[in-house]
Amino acid sequence: MYRAKGRYSARCESYRYKGLVAKVALGGKSIKVFLAIDPSFIDENPKYHLKNVSEKKQYAEVPVMMKVRSARALKYFKELVDYMMANRLVKPKRNYTPVNYMPQLIPNGEAIMATLGMTTDYLHNSMNVHSIPADMPDDLGDYIPMIPGEDLGEEEIEANVYLDTLCNHFEDGDEITIDVLKTLHIVTKGNVLRIKARGTLDRKLIIYAEYFDADALKMLMCTNCTAIKIIRNY
């Protein structure tokens, strides 16, 4: 949205717009982001948990480092980018449309079943709850991708939704979260989402939920949907 262009190297990806503005690199289980912000900002804003790396020559132009390994850290990173670009008098594009690339990086049902050594014979355009193959593994929940969610800060209350209900409201490729379901008034209560099996699933959906019933996961994998489990701290 700020027109910065990325360039890959063996160590990181660098972003430039009127000079170097950021470097991004993998570090263990974190993404390390180095930003073109004055290190004096660190002491004035302790909530961001930033580190001064200006003593290293390769980071002289991007001396402030933060680790992104949670939804909250990602939010803070976006705030810092806005701050950095505002100081450079760079305005975002007027017609910028955000794009979520996460689904392209997350394995779908076909990829997960291939990992388990299962053939494409298990894939179908639709799957009824009474037609689930008997030899589908019961531990699919151990193989779907997991992402961290923000702390609830309160007792969890499950909102249950059935797969056939989702098919009545969504199309192929739609992303489903509890917030989306509440906006559409499909669910009205709860702060965590449980996906349950019922009826026929005939959409290739992308579902983010804290809980998936075993039969629901089997139906999702057989129809090449994408299921992402949200892990929360309480």
Whether 136 and 212 map to the same domain: the answer is: yes
Low-confidence stretches of the chain (pLDDT < 50) are: none
Q: Are 116 and 137 in contact (CB under 8 A)?
A: yes
Token pair, residue 13, equals: 């990806």
Whether 76 and 110 map to the same domain: the answer is: no
Whether 82 and 196 map to the same domain: the answer is: no
What pTM was estimated for this model as a whole?
A: 0.60
Say which residues have a Cβ less than 8 Å from residue 212's Cβ, sequence separation at least 6.
141, 144, 194, 195, 220, 227, 229
Whether 130 and 194 map to the same domain: the answer is: yes
Whether 115 and 82 map to the same domain: the answer is: no
Whether 83 and 111 map to the same domain: the answer is: no
Whether 40 and 116 map to the same domain: the answer is: no
Whether 68 and 139 map to the same domain: the answer is: no
- The whole-number pLDDT of residue 29 equals 75
- The whole-number pLDDT of residue 96 equals 84
Domain that holds residue 160: 102-231
Whether 112 and 219 map to the same domain: the answer is: yes
- The whole-number pLDDT of residue 197 equals 98
Please name which of 130, 199, 191 lies closest in space to residue 167, comparing C-alpha atoms.
Answer: 199
Whether 107 and 67 map to the same domain: the answer is: no
- The whole-number pLDDT of residue 233 equals 67
Q: Identify whether 93 is part of a domain.
A: no
Q: Look at residues 57, 87, 117 and tell me which one is the last residue of a structural domain.
A: 87
Q: Identify whether 107 is part of a domain.
A: yes
Phi, psi of 47 (to 5 degrees): -65, -20
Whether 153 and 214 map to the same domain: the answer is: yes
Q: Identify whether 115 is part of a domain.
A: yes
Please name which of 146, 148, 11 lies closest in space to residue 74, comparing C-alpha atoms.
Answer: 148
Alpha-carbon gap, residue 157 to 134, rounded angstroms: 32
Whether 54 and 143 map to the same domain: the answer is: no
Q: Identify whether 64 is part of a domain.
A: yes
Q: Look at residues 33, 59, 87 and tell me which one is the last residue of a structural domain.
A: 87
Domain count across the chain? 2
